[in-house]
Structure 1
Amino acid sequence: MFSGQGSQKPGMGLDLLDVPEVAEAFEAASDVLGFDAAAFLETVDQTTLNDTRHAQPMLACVSMGLGRALVARGLQPKAVLGFSLGQVSALAVSGMLSLEDAMRFVQRRSVAMAQAAEAHPGAMSALLKADPESAAALCAACAEGEVLVPANFNAPGQIVISGASEAVARAEAAWAAAGKRSSRLATSGAFHSPLMAEAAEEVAAFLETVDFAEPAIPLIDNVSAAPLASADARRALVDHLTHPVRFDESVSALIADGATEFVEVGSGNVLVNLVKRIDKGVARTAVTDRASFEAFCARLDAAASSASAPTDNLA
């Protein structure tokens, strides 16, 4: 699983620059962005990094590097899954896009989304103890002609709404009046809502220049919560900007299909915590720094040694 925007922090990934795949990702980011990505993360402050234009490419750089490093060391994922921005990282690790094309895509995507947010100000808020029906009803009641939609289906009891700032504020007030809590997200715009339509147009034009391969590792699409084929990638990635992220449904489908462990790569542990809310019975691991990377690689080495041990005593 690949972390979404909001998990970024200064210095992330810098303790792994001696890992070849991480170094390659930083080199690709530097080439596309036109500045030294590692030096930027070494000196940037949190406020500057939180700008969508910086947050998305920097987090994708770290996530793609770590994901490709784990696969190179023997990890064989049943599937890859991103959360919002994380879906771009998943494209590179699945083999659907080259590292360079994925980085070009995230750079264009981040600029388009930032511009749309500036042109059409909005907000996002997490509703606690919400279900799809109550979230939809709240949006319908509080929109008052403005954009207000369910945007992220994170986990049971946690749904994010997105839309015009005043509409989101009305929904928060109504939710509070019903004795329930909400939490405003630190985003720069109303992502995964119709207010991102102009960004979707920009992304659609860019993706016409990109060739997609069939995935070597199945990629679960945020919009459909189903495996994504190369023929459907352009449309799915355009829809991704204006449609909800179905993370809860995606994780549940993977568990039903036999997945027993979820590994978050990138920064932070937001996704493993959401998986815990979805199903406490599956294993969860976050690989986000030197210590967690080395620990996971040791597991891979141990598993490889066990698999190659003599089996004369086995039936």
Structure 2
Amino acid sequence: MAAGPVFACSGQGSQRPGMGADLMDIPEVAVVFECASDVFGLDVAALCSAQGDPSALNDTRSAQAAIATLSIAVGRALRSRGVEPSALVGFSLGQVSALALSDMLTDEQALSLASVRARLMGEAADANPGAMSALLKADEDAVEALVSQCAQGEVLVAANFNCPGQIVVSGSVGAIGRAEEAWAARGGRFSRLPTSGAFHSPLMGDALEPFSAYLESVAFCEPRMPLICNVDARPLSASTVRDHLARHLVSAVRFSQSIDLLSASGASSYVEVGFGGVLTGLIRRIDKDAARMCVQDRASFDDCLALAAQGAFAGRG
């Protein structure tokens, strides 16, 4: 793997007023935010400001606009200053940000795709109510058995493989409730996620056909560096990206497996571009030897540039 950190693009849920506020005077950041405001039809910089309305920012469409915009903006600013990623990986929505940073899409195309995706997922969630819950100290076999026990004819699937010991299940409200009760009865802990639907499950199926039709109108380039796909933890290509992005709506996020692949390929440093440091924490649990940092404000941005100047980002070889 080439020298340079892996860029990890944040997923939904990490938004907070003030995110990226002290980065707005960086020209590349300002340009991406202006583009996003045009695409989403709202002032994304104002949405992210410290004075922004938390309830407005937590709306699914607004949250996805803010998170994708900041990830792309931070990545563009780093790349323009010589911090070139050796590879990219995203978490759910973050995979769309990675499409821009790998140059598979322009920033405008990626943000437009994020906007369409958010709308269709929201409509599917409204039509097919569901929920998601993180099971702690869980392994794949235990979750598979739990799903078989608790589905009882309703939708219940493993939806996010976050890191060793943390797997998220997604499905109908009743099935999620049964899974939580059964997991607690086994002495397990769980955390209900504040999502508006059962994402990455068959309950998103209504979005498949219209999203696939939209993707046919999008021109994708080959990535400039490997972009690891959530669906199968393998690199994307221009010939496979449409199918994978559509399947992504109803398939599990294999983040843990993606980091395993990257680490086995020689990656030893990761820079989360976005906000909140959620992926940085997951990576610590997947590959404890990897260097990792979250670039989310001016101090961490400057630190990243300083580390790059020192040649700190290098693979294992």
Q: TM-score, length-normalised on structure 2?
A: 0.93
Residue 190 (structure 2) pairs with residue 182 (structure 1) = yes
Question: Runs of 5+ in structure 2 lacking a partner?
Answer: 1-7, 313-317
1:204-215 to structure 2, matched below 5 A, reads 204-215=212-223
Consecutive aligned runs of 4 or more in structure 1 exceeding 6 Å deviation: none
Residue 172 (structure 2) pairs with residue 164 (structure 1) = yes
Contact 1:192 1:242 in 2 (8 A): yes
1:131-150 to structure 2, matched below 5 A, reads 131-150=139-158
1:82-121 to structure 2, matched below 5 A, reads 82-121=90-129
Residue 248 (structure 2) pairs with residue 240 (structure 1) = yes
Contact 2:47 2:53 in 1 (8 A): no
Q: Give 1:202 deviation, angstroms.
A: 2.3
Q: Give 1:217 deviation, angstroms.
A: 1.6
Partner secondary structure for residue 169 of structure 2: strand
Alignment match of 1:16 (pick from 16, 23, 33)? 23
Percent identity between the two aligned chains:
56
Partner secondary structure for residue 303 of structure 1: coil
Question: Residues 267-303 of structure 1, C-alpha deviation per residue, up to 9 Å, x if partnerless?
Answer: 0111111111112111111101111001111222343
Q: Which residue of 1 aligns with 2:297?
A: 289
Q: TM-score, length-normalised on structure 1?
A: 0.94
Question: Runs of 5+ in structure 1 lacking a partner?
Answer: 305-315
Contact 1:73 1:300 in 2 (8 A): no
Question: Residues 237-274 of structure 1, C-alpha deviation per residue, up to 9 Å, x if partnerless?
Answer: 00001000001100011111100111111001111111
The whole-number CA distance in structure 1 between the counterparts of 2:107 and 2:194 is 28
Partner secondary structure for residue 154 of structure 1: strand
**Highest Rg: 1 or 2?**
1
Question: Residues 172-202 of structure 1, C-alpha deviation per residue, up to 9 Å, x if partnerless?
Answer: 0000001111111111110000000112222
The whole-number CA distance in structure 1 between the counterparts of 2:169 and 2:104 is 30
Q: Give 1:50 deviation, angstroms.
A: 1.5
Q: Which residue of 2 aligns with 1:278?
A: 286
Residue 256 (structure 2) pairs with residue 252 (structure 1) = no
Q: Which residue of 1 aligns with 2:82?
A: 74
The whole-number CA distance in structure 1 between the counterparts of 2:310 and 2:268 is 18
The whole-number CA distance in structure 2 between the counterparts of 1:137 and 1:297 is 46
Contact 1:51 1:188 in 2 (8 A): no
Q: Give 1:35 deviation, angstroms.
A: 2.4
The whole-number CA distance in structure 1 between the counterparts of 2:196 and 2:69 is 20
The whole-number CA distance in structure 1 between the counterparts of 2:154 and 2:142 is 18
Q: Give 1:40 deviation, angstroms.
A: 2.6
The whole-number CA distance in structure 1 between the counterparts of 2:132 and 2:61 is 18
The whole-number CA distance in structure 2 between the counterparts of 1:199 and 1:51 is 19
Higher-RCO chain (CA-CA 8 Å, sequence separation at least 6): 2
1:212-231 to structure 2, matched below 5 A, reads 212-231=220-239
Give me the CA root mean square deviation: 1.2
1:3-42 to structure 2, matched below 5 A, reads 3-42=10-49
